[in-house]
Amino acid sequence: MQRHIATTPFGRGTLTLGQIASQMTARTVPAEAVVHKWQVFQHIREARDRLGATDRSLAILNALLSFHPETALTGAAELVVWPSNEQLMARANGMPATTLRRHLAVLVGCGLIVRRDSPNGKRFARKGRGGEIEQAYGFDLSPIIARAEEIKALAEEVQAEKKALRVARERLTLLRRDIVKMIDAGIEENVPGNWGRVQQAYQEIILQLPRGASRPLVDDVCARLYDLWVETREVLETFTKTQNMDANESHSGGHIQNSNPDSQFESNTAFEKDEAGSAAAQTDNVQSLPKRELPLGIVLDACPGVIDLAQGGQIRHWRDLLGAVEIARPMLGISPSAWREAREAMGEQQAAITLAAIYERSEQIHNAGGYLRSLTERARQGKFSTWPMIMALLRAKLDASQAEAAGKGSLHPSRREPSGFEVSETLLRGLGKRNRRPHEK
């Protein structure tokens, strides 16, 4: 009697063209074909995204393969397995029945197995007198043999892609490390250049790199970072060559590099000298200054410019201010060593306030690094407080606001148009007291 192999699923399941294609593929398996089932399964695991399989469906496929008694799958052997749902659920680590049926459908849809349903939907095998299997109803594993080479090629492509992504990420890490350290070296060694612009360009490139970025995006970011790396390195190399030539021409032996790049620029503009003198006059007796810390809100009122550097454009906590001034530091040309010494002498919070104030008046300060070192030295001597700096900024903003209102012809404070800057009466009295000279008391 001729055996009939069903091509349609049992029950309400419909037949699709994809299932027809899988059945056609299963019939192309040559009788002499032999594959190692666990090796093919490993290739399927590696290429599961390309095949459309899921982790749960692979757990079921692993269970189905375990029901075949032989390790080698051959085209001449019977490749239909007929475990019950209970047996499959047990070998799939107790997977629920509904989940089992859903992921069996995934395996069929991926073309990794073919359903061979019986007339009543049961899975079983009918054996002949000699014990050989005459008819089996269940799941046919023939597509695994037929597609073994295709699956292997997909797995190799996935491995090559992963390797390329790993190499690209390694290159990205090296470029980021080189650029950051070259910027710090340029500032530390006082190499002429707009290091603030380089730092800003670097930040703009890195912000375009999300977590879990794809390889094309990583390659694009690496290409842009490489251009910045070349530009930065050329600046450092050109400066190094110039220094070496100057040393050779002067016949003075080895070039002596100053480890303190800001020391030769301690002279600042008239503004810095005037402010330093004013700060000295107001901080001769530091004990007279308020004992409490400056509120964050007052610091931000005095230094609104640093808010633009914060992540998300908001500063809600002191740690947000610390993050913002870390970005401002290279833009001001302050070396890592000067910033480190300031934090050690003043503390993290006070150093951040000081740097925010310097950033607010960056256009009036000729050498921010030297100015910060000067304030750091005063802090070591106990003669520096951030209160006078912040109060001076607030007073300057208040004077500018009043001058603007006066220019508009307002004769009474209650009739002035809002200027966007408000100061409490208590703070106004405090500002007045701190702005008086000693002879005015």
Residues 167 and 138 in one domain: no
Residue 131 sits in the same domain as residue 61: yes
Tell me the pLDDT tens digit for each residue of 162-175: 999 999 999 999 99
Kindly state whether residues 210 and 283 are assigned to the same domain: no
Q: Considering the domain boundaries, does residue 426 fall inside one?
A: no
Structure tokens at 159: 């491995």
401 located within any domain = no
C-alpha to C-alpha distance for 382 and 371, rounded to whole angstroms: 17
440 lies in some domain:
no
Give the alpha-carbon dihedral of 253, 255, 256, 260, to 10 degrees.
170
User: What average pLDDT does the segment 146-157 reach?
Assistant: 91
Say if residue 309 is in the same domain as residue 361. Answer: yes
Q: Does 254 map to a domain?
A: no
Does residue 389 or residue 5 have the better pLDDT? Answer: 389
Quick one: tokens of 409?
């012809």
53 occurs within a structural domain: yes
Asked whether residue 212 falls in the same domain as residue 306, the answer is no
For the chain, give the mean pLDDT: 77
268 and 367 Cβ atoms separated by less than 8 Å = yes
Number of folded domains in the chain? Answer: 3
* DSSP sequence for 288-324: GS-SSPPPHHHHHHH-GGGGGGSGGG---SHHHHHHH
Q: Is residue 334 part of a domain?
A: yes
pTM over 0.85: no
Q: What is the mean pLDDT of residues 74-95?
A: 84
Q: Do 242 and 268 fall within a single domain? A: no
Task: Please check whether residues 279 and 224 belong to one and the same domain.
Answer: no
pLDDT for residue 21 is more than 70: no
Give a yes or no: residue 419 inside a domain. Answer: no
Task: Count the neighbouring beta carbons within 10 Å of the beta carbon of residue 426.
Answer: 8
Residue ending a domain, choose from 190, 221, 247? 247
Looking at the structure, tell me whether residues 270 and 385 fall in a common domain: yes
User: In degrees, to the nearest 5, what angle opens at C-alpha 113 toward C-alphas 107 and 115?
Assistant: 100
State which residues form the domain around 140: 17-146
Residue 200 lies in a domain: yes
Residue 195 contacts residue 187 (beta carbons within 8 Å): yes
Measure the CA–CA gap between 264 and 400, rounded to whole angstroms.
35
Per-position DSSP letters for 117-175, written without gaps between them: --TTS--EEEE-TTS-EEEEEEEE-HHHHHTHHHHHHHHHHHHHHHHHHHHHHHHHHHH
Predicted confidence band of residue 284 (pLDDT cuts 50, 70, 90): very low
Residue 432 has pLDDT above 80, yes or no: no
* Model pLDDT for residues 51-80, shown as the tens digit of each residue: 889 989 999 999 999 988 888 888 767 788
Same domain, 178 and 209: yes
Q: Are residues 212 and 302 in the same domain?
A: no
In the chain, % of residues over pLDDT 90: 23
Among 94-98, 231-235, 418-422, name the one with the lowest average pLDDT.
418-422
- Are residue 108 and residue 209 in the same domain, yes or no? no
Domain of residue 118, CATH code: 1.10.10
User: Among residues 216, 247, 278, which one ends one of the domains?
Assistant: 247
Question: Are residues 24 and 113 located together in one domain of the fold?
Answer: yes
